[in-house]
Amino acid sequence: MRLQQALPIGLAAVAAANPLGKRAAIDDCLKAANVPVDTPNSSEWKNDVNPFNQRLPYTPVAIAVPTTTDHIAAAVSCAVKVGVKVNPKSGGHSYASFGLGGENGHLVVELDRMNKVTVDSSTQIATVQAGARLGHVATVLYNNGKRAFSHGTCPGVGVGGHSLHGGFGFSSHTHGLAVDWIVGATVVLANGTVVDTSETQHPDLFWALRGAGSNFGIVSTFKFKTFAAPSTVTAYQVNLPWNSASSIASGWGALQDWLSSGGMPAEMNMRVFGSGSQTQLQGLYHGSSGDLRSAIQPLLSKLSASLSNSQQYDWMGAFTYYTYGGTVDVTHPYSSVETFYSKSLVTTALPSKALNAVSQYWASQARSNSRNWFIIIDLYGGKTSAVTKQAVNSSAFAYRDPSYLFLYELYDRVNYGSYPSNGFSFLDGWVKSFTDNLSTSQWGMYINYADPTMNRTYAQQVYYRQSLPRLQQLKAELDPNEVFYYPQAITPAK
């Protein structure tokens, strides 16, 4: 642990209760500490403050743009002295704009200039700065010995928030979540100290970071173990004949029976993608197209479906395929925006009552919605999943029991204009058709698809479940004054 040089306390004294006073005070403090910043109304400021979800814009009091860990520590110290809350922003893809604070007036620590990635050729451990985006990370790892770790497919997503709060993708059934590959991290704490953490260094903090990291500090650098990228993977699609409530319920039931019985090979990664125009199985098989055909045929027989497309790639070819024509190796500057409302779920197998209610909602309300909506049902857990082979208490990430089968992203967007004020009831009602027919132990939610309409108490419960009491105790120990705050942040234990 190292303590940063104290900053002049007189700077904090000039902070007034009004936002302009705090802005002047923190600007002076950051300048005195030689912390790089975005100048308000500059092109850099406008890019960094532009939210991925255009429905949720917020204005920070200042934007620090560190290039070193010491810059981050100094920025946090300035915020504490002035009395401003702090939020790290890695890729800026928070569905709730939590990287901007989730409300006005926070100090944003914009990390995307810190995007260096290296690989130790002897240990195959990757050192990754927290502002690197997934496409850049994947590219550099592959170019250094054809290495990889498990993560999502959107190249512009930042490695920081993605991996600290889970990180699911088309290698997760085979290799687990991104959070499972973290073996160390350098972290700036609320008191301005910098610590290295791992299973043997500050293990309580390391446990909390892996599942709830943004509540406890700002990670500047990760250490990830890596695996040898497979030489051949196969992307595939299966068109599903889910044209009615009964066909959805029947097909979904067969799918969950196959998954819960252990029928899904470890090498297979799969999701259901449903929209107003199509319903498909999509995925990535870690192996050849011939092996895929053999492995998937028992499921296709149950679904009365056939393989509509399959294509072999190398590892980076498959990553490129699932960017749908986008650039893979992206760094700063980067901007991607949409206007939407989203919700998440994690569930066990659905009993018939839930299955029928959800399928009926899909066939009626969803298919009558003319907006650009989709539902993704990731085949998440089960007997063969690497995600649920992790011990339940191995990290703060809550959903490790093999009975958790599905991870859902429900997403409703508009292509032009504002999201309608009466639009929220669509996804709220769809999620309610699940939760009204499940016990509390059968479902939860996933903070990487954050829903800011939930109140703080409820959000903590559904994101963290059994991990919450320990997380609240650690929050009280490490950040009792809630320096790292957003509207759904973990509440310190009393």
Separation CA 89–CA 112 (nearest Å): 8
C-alpha torsion angle, residues 194, 200, 203, 207 (rounded to 10)? 110
pLDDT, position 326: 87
Residue 31 in this model has a pLDDT that exceeds 60: yes
pLDDT, position 18: 62
Alpha helices in 331-392 (DSSP H): 352-363
167-171 mean pLDDT? 98
Q: Could you give the 3-state DSSP secondary structure of residue 147? A: strand
Residue 487 in this model has a pLDDT that exceeds 80: yes
107-136 mean pLDDT? 99
Residue 399 in this model has a pLDDT that exceeds 70: yes
In which band, very low, low, confident or very high, does the pLDDT at 4 lie, cut at 50, 70 and 90?
A: very low
CB atoms within 10 A of CB 393: 11
Separation CA 96–CA 316 (nearest Å): 30
Specify the amino acid at residue 484. Answer: F
C-alpha torsion angle, residues 376, 380, 382, 387 (rounded to 10)? 180
pLDDT, position 325: 81
Residue 415 in this model has a pLDDT that exceeds 70: yes
- Percentage of residues in the chain with pLDDT exceeding 70? 96
Helix or strand run (H / E) with residue 377 = strand 372-379
Mean pLDDT over the full length of the chain: 96
60-72 mean pLDDT? 99
User: Which residues 6+ apart lie within 8 Å of 455 measured at CB?
Assistant: none
Separation CA 177–CA 340 (nearest Å): 25
With beta carbons less than 8 A apart as the criterion, state whether 78 and 30 touch. Answer: yes
Q: Could you give the 3-state DSSP secondary structure of residue 414? A: strand
With beta carbons less than 8 A apart as the criterion, state whether 363 and 249 touch. Answer: no
Residue 9 in this model has a pLDDT that exceeds 50: no
Computed on alpha carbons and rounded to an integer, the radius of gyration of the chain in Å comes to 22
Residue 133 is given by DSSP the state: B
